[in-house]
């Protein structure tokens, strides 16, 4: 797997290069704001602008580029915050190159992607201080008569090229058992909709299991609002105690 990131990057590059010749879809711009209480009694605010840029390909295929640019404010200690006072900085930015298939069965599609994480945050607590890549796979199944969409997703992170000494390279499986329920008047409820997965740390073989839910309201054709929360119920590999978040989305 030594050449895995290079091969995945080449696929993403060629997919992105081919995309502009096709039809650009509706661009989505998310503004996420998170407050997180950690298990060590420190806290973190995060603002994360996120872009989804879809391109409609022939025969019903869809290419989507996702870009996340997190900014953090935290009192968690680390090499970049030795006093433990509140300090702001960049987080680790990332991109994800994804392909959604046409229907492979009635109301069922498959999504596959590769994510690339860059150590733009520098050192802890703002960064994992390593490059990462993560293959991703999801099955998307709609049950239109009941307004339900099932889209379980698996993503496996692998770190490489640490930028600081004594950094443990990431090996982690993220599981999103995502279910969306549509209600009248453009309301919906989504379980595991954001970046709060069930996680298995493949280095220490421990789990982190939260519950996560978000309520979404489509205000009009171009604006959407979401409010959610997550709480850790199994914290053998602690990630956070609880988290509350909001999302303001614009469609272009």
Name the token pair of 246: 């909001």
Q: What is the pLDDT of residue 18?
A: 47
- 123-136 confidence digits (pLDDT tens): 999 999 999 999 99
Query: How many whole angstroms separate alpha carbon 101 and alpha carbon 124?
Result: 38
pLDDT of 7 > 50? The answer is: no
C-alpha 188/C-alpha 196 separation (Å) is 18
Please report the pLDDT score of residue 31 as a whole number.
98
pLDDT at 154 over 80: yes
The domain spans of the chain are 4-179
Q: pTM of the full predicted structure?
A: 0.89
- Per DSSP, the three-state class of 146 is helix
Q: State the pLDDT at residue 76.
A: 96
Residue 4 pLDDT > 70, yes or no? no
Residue 112 has pLDDT above 50, yes or no: yes
pLDDT at 186 over 90: yes
Query: To 5 degrees, how large is the angle CA 25–CA 29–CA 32?
Result: 150
Q: Give residue 22's pLDDT.
A: 73
């Amino acid at each position: 797997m030594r050449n895995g990131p290079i091969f995945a990057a080449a696929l993403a590059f060629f997919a992105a290069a081919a995309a502009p010749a096709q039809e650009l879809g509706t661009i989505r711009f998310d503004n996420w704001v998170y407050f997180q209480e950690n298990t060590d009694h420190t806290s973190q605010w995060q603002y994360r602008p996120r872009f989804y840029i879809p391109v409609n390909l022939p025969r019903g295929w869809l290419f989507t580029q996702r870009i996340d640019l997190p900014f953090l404010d935290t009192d968690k200690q680390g090499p970049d915050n030795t006093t433990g006072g509140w300090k702001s900085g960049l987080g680790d930015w990332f991109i994800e190159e994804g392909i959604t298939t046409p229907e492979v069965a009635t109301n069922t599609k498959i999504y596959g992607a590769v994510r690339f994480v860059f150590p733009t945050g520098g050192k802890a607590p703002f960064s994992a201080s390593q490059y990462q890549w993560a293959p991703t796979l999801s099955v998307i199944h709609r049950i239109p008569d009941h307004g339900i969409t099932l889209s379980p997703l698996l993503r496996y992170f692998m770190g490489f090229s640490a930028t600081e000494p004594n950094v443990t390279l990431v090996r982690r499986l993220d599981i999103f058992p995502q279910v969306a329920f549509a209600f009248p008047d453009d309301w919906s409820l989504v379980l595991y909709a954001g970046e709060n997965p069930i996680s298995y740390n493949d280095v220490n073989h421990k789990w982190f299991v939260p519950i996560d839910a978000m309520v979404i309201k489509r205000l009009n054709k171009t604006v959407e609002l979401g409010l959610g929360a997550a709480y850790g119920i199994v914290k053998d590999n602690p990630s956070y105690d609880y988290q509350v978040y909001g999302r303001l989305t614009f469609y272009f």
